[in-house]
């Protein structure tokens, strides 16, 4: 089955390489690239290639695949032993601006408390 895409979605365009990004990881199902406005020395956005607007709308099997690859990405980026933070914004009140599921992977400095 062809995965869902949205021709008007910024991250679908980035994943399709119609808009350039600094790619950090790519597989059949997952795409990761540097955030354009980094909040930490390492700030990578990790997305399923399939378009799902929010965390709550994403099928569980997609999340399972994504989580496994997030573990691989954390190791590949060199943070397995250093620590990192994952953030998911779900919905407008959380601050979500791009409605294509993504994890913010933040690392590279002490991140402090909330």
Q: Identify the active-site residue in 43, 51, 100, 102.
A: 102
Residues 15-21: contacts with CB under 8 Å, at least 24 apart: 15/47, 15/49
Question: In this structure, what DSSP letter does residue 93 have?
Answer: G
* Residue 60 to residue 58: CA distance in whole angstroms: 6
51 is catalytic: no
Interaction mask 41-80, Zn ion, x per CB under 5 A = ----------x-----------------------------
| 98 is a contact residue toward ligand 5GP (CB under 6 A) | yes
Does 56 help bind ligand 5GP (rule: CB under 6 A)? no
Q: Which of 50, 89, 103, 107 binds ligand 5GP (CB under 6 A)?
A: 89
Question: Is 6 among the residues that bind ligand 5GP (CB under 6 A)?
Answer: no
Distances (CA, A) of 82 to 16, 65, 79: 32, 23, 5
């Amino acid at each position: 089955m062809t995965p869902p895409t949205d021709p008007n979605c910024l991250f679908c365009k980035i994943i399709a390489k119609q808009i350039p990004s600094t790619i950090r990881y790519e597989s059949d199902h997952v795409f990761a690239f540097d955030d354009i406005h980094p909040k930490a020395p390492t700030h990578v956005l990790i997305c399923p290639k399939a378009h799902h607007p929010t965390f709550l709308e994403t099928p569980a099997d997609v999340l399972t695949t994504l989580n496994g690859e997030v573990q691989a990405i954390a190791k590949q980026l060199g943070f397995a032993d250093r620590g990192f933070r994952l953030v998911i914004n779900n919905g407008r009140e959380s601050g979500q601006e791009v409605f294509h599921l993504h994890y913010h992977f933040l690392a590279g400095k002490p991140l402090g408390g909330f």
